[in-house]
Amino acid sequence: MTIGPLRARLADGREILYFDDDDHPGRSHDASDQRPLDAVTTDSQLRWDPLAREWTVLAAHRQGRTYHPPADLCPLCPTHGDRHTEVPEPAYDVVVFENRFPSLAGVADRRRDAPSPNDPATELCAPGTGRCEVIVPTDDHEATLPQLSVARIRTLVDVWAHRSDELRRRDDVAVVGLFENRGDAVGVTLHHTHQQLYGYPFVPARTSRLLAAARDHRGRTGRCLVCDRLDMERSDGTRIVSAGDHWTFLVPYAARWPYEVHAVPHRHVRGLPDLDDAERDELASLWRDLFARYDGLFDVDRLPTIAAWHQTPSFEPDGHVYGQAFTLQRDVGKLKFLAGSESSFGAWILDVTPEQAAEALRD
């Protein structure tokens, strides 16, 4: 049973939250941050691209962020003696804190919609408000998801739900995006397993397209698009990787990425906070199992993967949450890169069929 959060502040005023799997009698969570940190300053800006009609985030101050530190200087490890890190405690289960190099920070009075097209001179830029949190699910520098206990991942699911719920209640947050990047090939700058939560002040470009398709389908059919796709995939069966009473993990019919998997709850719920206990229990088990399957695909230590949760925008009454995971490894010794076709035109070329991917992940 998840205990927490216990809330504290780092030396520069950033919030830190501790969540425990269970009562740890020796842990007080009252260590204070001894570092002489300057306050975090950001000068992020949102800029509107009228050619593609999307916001981009300009975060030039992040160029100086920590980049591949040696293991003994890992800022996500617990603090021991004089070795001060981002986490003042000597041990933790799951810890969450505001990113020291946030792409988005601060509060606005409302979320950012598209600028008025009839007045292109106004609102082409806006402050880069929002929130960037780091979620660290283990104080073990080397452990990756499949090495954590199901109990710990169950705590983690509660943390995802807690943080998503708190952020989606903000008027200036449009979408709560949760993701985990793993592996050098994904550009991970900190080796210690961690996830990131972004409270976007605008609807990101891809989320906006997913939303438009879902609204249109609902309008035409009265049904949920994600529910309909799930029904189709469950009756077909060839692209299912794993399943339980509450979840189906499947390779989408038109996957864009190698070994892409969607984790879909059977019940029509908007976001992670809306999952009940039985759904969270099963998710913890299946999510851990999925990453063990990824690690078994090729003979690679820490297969480069990206995982994300697509939650319903906070202003949208209807939606169906799902997880997404994929690897950038398309074969033994071969990575998938985004080149001109993907980057410039948005035309994805996939080398592995979804049916082959599902079969490889099932076995």
Catalogue the active-site residues: 194
Closer residue to a copy of itself (CB): 137 or 252? 252
- Amino acid at site 114: A
Choose among 136, 66, 147: nearest CA to 96: 136
Please choose, out of 2-10, 271-279, 288-296, 342-350, the segment that lies near a copy of itself by the rule CB under 8 A.
342-350
C-alpha to C-alpha distance for 94 and 4, rounded to whole angstroms? 10
User: Which backbone phi and psi does 45 adopt, to 5 degrees?
Assistant: -135, 140
- C-beta of 173: minimal distance to a copy of itself in Å? 13
Q: Which is nearer to a copy of itself, 28 or 118 (CB)?
A: 118
- With CB under 8 A as the contact rule, the residue among 73, 142, 347, 362 that binds a copy of itself is 347
- Does 120 help bind a copy of itself (rule: CB under 8 A)? yes
What are the C-alpha distances in Å from 217 to residues 212, 222, 318, 319? 9, 7, 12, 11
Segment 299-338, which members bind a copy of itself (CB under 8 A)? 306-308, 310, 324, 330-331, 334-338
Q: Quick one: 88 or 271, whose CB is closer to a copy of itself?
A: 271
Q: Tell whether residue 122 is a contact of a copy of itself (CB under 8 A).
A: no
d(CA 140, CA 237): 38
User: Contact with a copy of itself (CB under 8 A): which of 6, 100, 179, 316?
Assistant: 179
* Residue nearer to a copy of itself on the CB measure, 241 or 352: 352
Q: Do residues 261 and 247 lie in contact, with contact meaning Cβ atoms separated by under 8 Å?
A: no
- The pair of structure tokens assigned to 91 is 């041990």
Q: Which is nearer to a copy of itself, 71 or 349 (CB)?
A: 349
291 near a copy of itself, rule: CB under 8 A: no
Which residues within the stretch 206-265 sit at the binding site for a copy of itself (CB under 8 A)?
206-210, 212-214, 216-217, 220, 225-226, 228-229, 252-257
| Closest distance of CB 30 from a copy of itself, Å | 33
CA distances from 294 to 54, 113, 298, 326 (A): 33, 38, 8, 9
Residues 68-107, interacting with a copy of itself (CB under 8 A): 103
The CA radius of gyration of the chain, in Å to the nearest whole number, is: 21
Which one among 1, 24, 35, 60 touches a copy of itself, defined by CB under 8 A? Answer: 60
Residues whose CB is less than 8 angstroms from the CB of residue 335 and which lie 6 or more positions away in sequence, other chains included = 185, 304, 328, 329
Q: Kindly state the tokens that stand for 258.
A: 């190698």
